[in-house]
Amino acid sequence: MPDRVRLQIRVDNQLREQLRELLVRLRTLAHSPHPPFRHWGSIRESLVAEAALRLVMQAIGSTPQPPSPQELEEQSVTTLREFLEEWAEAGVAASICPYLVLRGSLAVVGSLGIKKGDGPPWRHTSDIYKLYVAEALLRRTTRKRAREAYKKLLARYPTASDLASAPPTDVREVLRGTGLTKRAEKLIEGAARLKESEKSLRATAEEGLVSLRRQLKEIPLVGDYTADALALHSFGLVTLPLDGNALRVLWRALKGVEPPQGLRDPYRDTETKLMRKKLLMHSPLRTAQLAHFAILDIGWDHCRPKHPRCDTCPIAMTCRLAHFRLLYSK
Ligand code: SF4
């Protein structure tokens, strides 16, 4: 756990100073012999998440001042939710709070992951072609295989032009052993479409997410999820790609229940889309990008479909389902 977390949120000097002071106090509290969070493995992450949340809330200008470090120690606040309840009483709309909590926490988890160098190779790029290749592969195979195929393809065809002009047999050869050889033609076609339409896609992005999604989905191997991922990371539009990971994390963390049985495609579910909308309300772009990374990591490493590993999950303190599980396990 690093000592400092850099957040991509615009703050003024006064707020920065407050945060610095708060972090010092929170760290002291975390190291005290009887930390109030001792049931949780991720205590320090949670403390940083709290600080981050304050930043997020202040950045959108809709919150009263957070309690001072002294007040914090006196109150022995135990969860993010308790903070929020206080803030809700102080006038922040209660229905929005859990979303801000989750978003602030996810942003911190995403930010820590980037700092530690976690995640697949495409996490550090905003290049449309590279992200297109990554998502086109990921949607159709495992992470391990997608990573392998991605490295091979990018090493051989570093640009969209290179792949667009490659013979299908060569691309199939590069993909041999990854289980993705059948995708060769579509990938070539997709690369050609990207190359032709990059300029017009940039112009469409100015019109907004709906138009951009529509145009992106005309490219082979681009569905709802990939369109959102490209819009978020390559075109700088705030959105959250919805897959099984997002579905589980959103439903479990915000509602405290499993996603509806039989719901395969989150894009067809009004409730899930509403949760996403609330989560992203007034979100800065970088926060949304970090939240996406965090959801992927949490979904893969902790929030498993059958047996969620709440005891190691970094957002356990902000997750309703984890709270319920803790309550009923006693
Ligand atoms: S705390 Fe548990 S249920 Fe909640 S997001 Fe993490 S793993 Fe999933």
Q: CATH no. for residue 250? A: 1.10.1670.10
* pTM recorded for the entire structure: 0.72
Tokens 């922040």 belong to residue:
92
Total domain count, the chain: 3
216 domain-assigned = yes
Cα of 223 vs centre of ligand 1, distance in Å, is 27
Find the domain containing 276 and state its range: 244-328
239 domain-assigned = no
Mean pLDDT by 10 residues, the chain (330 residues): 44 56 54 40 46 52 44 40 47 52 80 73 88 86 82 92 93 82 88 92 94 95 95 96 94 92 88 92 84 92 91 83 75
* Distance separating alpha carbons of residues 162 and 178, to the nearest angstrom: 20
Last residue of a domain, one of 233, 263, 291: 233
Last residue of a domain, one of 166, 199, 233: 233
Nearest residue CA, atom 7 of ligand 1? 303
Could you tell me if 194 and 272 lie in one domain? Answer: no
- The answer for residues whose C-beta is within 8 angstroms of residue 102's C-beta and 6 or more apart is 253, 254, 279, 315, 318
156 domain-assigned = yes
CB of 84 within 6 A of ligand 1: the answer is: no
Number of helices (H), then strands (E), belonging to the chain: the values are 16, 0
Could you tell me if 104 and 171 lie in one domain? Answer: no
pLDDT recorded at residue 315: 84
Cα of 110 vs centre of ligand 1, distance in Å, is 15
